[in-house]
Amino acid sequence: MSNREASGVIDAVWRMEAAKVIAVLTRMVRDVGLAEELAQDALVAALERWPESGIPDNPAAWLMATAKHRAIDHFRRNKLLERKHQELAREMKSSEESGMANFEMPEEDEISDDLLRLMFICCHPVLARESRVALALRMLGGLTTQEIARGFLVPEATVAQRIVRAKRALNEARVPFEVPHGADRNERLASVLEVIYRVFNEGYSATAGEDWLRPGLCEDALRLGRILAELEPGEAEVHGLVALMAIQASRARARAGPEGEPILLLEQDRGRWDQLLIRRGLAALERAERLGGARGPYALQAAIAACHARAGKAEETDWAGMAGLYDVLAQLKPSPVVELNRAVAVAMAFGPAAGLEIVDALLTEPTLKAYHLLPSVRGDFLFKLGRVADAQAEFARAAALTGNAREKKLLLGRAQVCAEKLEKGEN
């Protein structure tokens, strides 16, 4: 296997398994920063060995075993936690004697518990809100610092500083590796929900790279959401988030073409939408509403997604009702991104000029300065209004801003359509 081929496989395995490895190591070493370093050491070892030895039959277990050995080496070097060193050494010896070559993974339920514990640790109140989300996205979502920065619409250096400070703060506070109870759990719940949804969003629409979708992240987020729903059955917003993710995930098979190219919502084959996920999403939404959470931000977004799910055809969508839901969401949780989404619903319900009026009010918003969807949406409205030259400029600007190769190609294609119309004098 060539180095390039091995690197591709390693990158895929790492993105799928890094969170699990870090979560299990955190339980063992009780230090989030150290756990990530040990996991990174295992990744480096894979990059060095796999191109020559080949990919192991169980690459995830190989990473886990290698990381555990790195933990033992760390304790030996530092002469710390002798008891933990002995426990890990016994575990390694037992695995070797069983003939498993150290490639046994913990039980799936145990890993899920560790992931959830790590989620609550990353959302500890000792950390600022922005640091909580950034750290959890790094630890559990497998996102790079660049990807997190794009999601937050802030400089990469800012995110890097937040992550470093967060690790240091958790270590200094000696935060226990456990799922909190009572008021402490409620205090962290909002951050946990935000983290889960940001991980889902990165999988649903990747901010960078060659892939339009990263299904593994969506699956991880859905699994964490369901685990959290079992822990918090009486929390309406937890069910609202599960509903939102399930309904959005139902479109996954229809969101990309044969070559991985993006297919926009109104152009998707709705026969490819996953009806099981839609039913589960609608059931979770109904449960949230029964618990009195119909006006929570996640339940509201789930209700918006349900407007699409209930429409057999795009033209059957209740756009006016959706615009009304966005009005409520904008009052409850105002943000430039919510306002941009509201503009789309308003445009579909009342015409592109109405949507353009909302979008134009966002042009001076600092946080959207590098947000590619602002010129993309504006370009769509301008195109529908016959302002083709202006639309071309907006699509080109959006293409320059996006970090996703698939999305860039789509936007450049729309700019090219505008250029062809201009050549024919159709402006």
Chain segment 173-198, per-residue pLDDT in tens: 888 888 888 888 877 888 889 888 88
Question: What sign results for the dihedral spanned by CA atoms 75, 76, 77, 79?
Answer: positive
pLDDT of residue 132: 86
Tell me which of 82 and 304 has the higher pLDDT: 304
Element (H, E) at 302: helix 297-309
pLDDT of residue 295: 87
Which residues, 6 or more positions from 390, have their beta carbon under 8 angstroms from its beta carbon?
379, 382
Tell me which of 240 and 196 has the higher pLDDT: 240
Q: Which CATH architecture does the domain made up of 3-106 adopt?
A: Orthogonal Bundle (1.10)
pLDDT of residue 67: 87
Q: What is the mean pLDDT of residues 260-269?
A: 89
pLDDT of residue 98: 45
CB atoms within 10 A of CB 379: 27
**What distance in Å separates the CA atoms of residue 276 and residue 262, rounded to the nearest whole number?**
23
The domain locations on the chain are 3-106, 108-202+209-219, 233-262+269-312, 318-365, 370-427
Which residues, 6 or more positions from 182, have their beta carbon under 8 angstroms from its beta carbon?
none
Which residues, 6 or more positions from 333, have their beta carbon under 8 angstroms from its beta carbon?
297
Tokens of 161: 């500083």
> Nearest-CA neighbor of 29 among 105, 103, 81?
81
CB atoms within 10 A of CB 397: 17
Confidence of residue 85 (pLDDT cuts 50, 70, 90): low
> Quick check: 2 pLDDT over 90?
no
**What distance in Å separates the CA atoms of residue 301 and residue 195, rounded to the nearest whole number?**
16
Least confident of 34-48, 130-144, 156-170: 130-144
224-235: per-residue pLDDT in tens? 898 889 878 899
% the chain with pLDDT above 70 = 89
Burial class (CB in 10 A: 0-12, 13-18, 19+), 52: exposed
> Quick check: 165 pLDDT over 50?
yes
**What distance in Å separates the CA atoms of residue 147 and residue 167, rounded to the nearest whole number?**
19
> What SS3 class is residue 126?
coil
Tokens of 10: 């390693």
**What distance in Å separates the CA atoms of residue 325 and residue 346, rounded to the nearest whole number?**
11
- Give me the count of residues in the chain: 427
CB atoms within 10 A of CB 107: 9
pTM of the entire predicted model: 0.73
Torsion of CA 132, 135, 139, 145, to 10 degrees: 150
